[in-house]
Amino acid sequence: MALTDAKIRAAKPTDKAYKLTDGAGMFLLVHPNGSRYWRLRYRILGKEKTLALGVYPEVSLSEARTKRDEARKLISEGVDPCEQKRAKKVVPDLQLSFEHIARRWHASNKQWAQSHSDKVL
């Protein structure tokens, strides 16, 4: 049976974490501290995995279902949604490269003599 917003709000924390299932592998994980996490359990290339879809109430039931459907589409195309999510996080940011940070640090040390400054770089 599909989840409703009323069922989610009525879910009370217990001594152990428990799941409220919605269907198609999606569930709401209710922790003992009262926090609620949307998760999607799926299988790809013979391995079972779990994808984090967000935290309730920041991610509503309808938003979680939309994310689930998008992830299911990727899975049907043979793409692992966890790997895709991880790859998006790893996009290199030029502002955080070691060279950029080192040059900013070097420029902030104006009290150095020119000969020492040249040696450092």
- Asked if the structure places residue 33 within a domain, the reply is yes
Give the other-Cβ count within 10 Å of 25's Cβ: 18
Residue with tokens 């940070």: 101
- CATH number assigned to the domain comprising residue 87: 3.30.160.390
Identify whether 117 is part of a domain: no
Provide the number of structural domains found in the chain.
1
Range of the domain at 90: 5-109
- What confidence category does residue 107 fall into, taking pLDDT thresholds of 50, 70 and 90? confident
Residue 121 domain-assigned? no
Is residue 45 a part of any domain in this protein? yes
pLDDT at 93 over 70: no
| 90 pLDDT more than 90 | no
Chain CA centroid to CA 35, Å: 16
Any domain includes 114: no
pLDDT of residue 116: 76
Q: Report the C-alpha gap between 23 and 4 in whole angstroms.
A: 12
Question: How far does Cα 94 stand from its chain's mean position?
Answer: 22
The reply to whether 118 falls in a domain is: no
Cβ-based neighbours of 54, under 8 Å, separated by 6 or more: 37, 38, 63, 64, 67
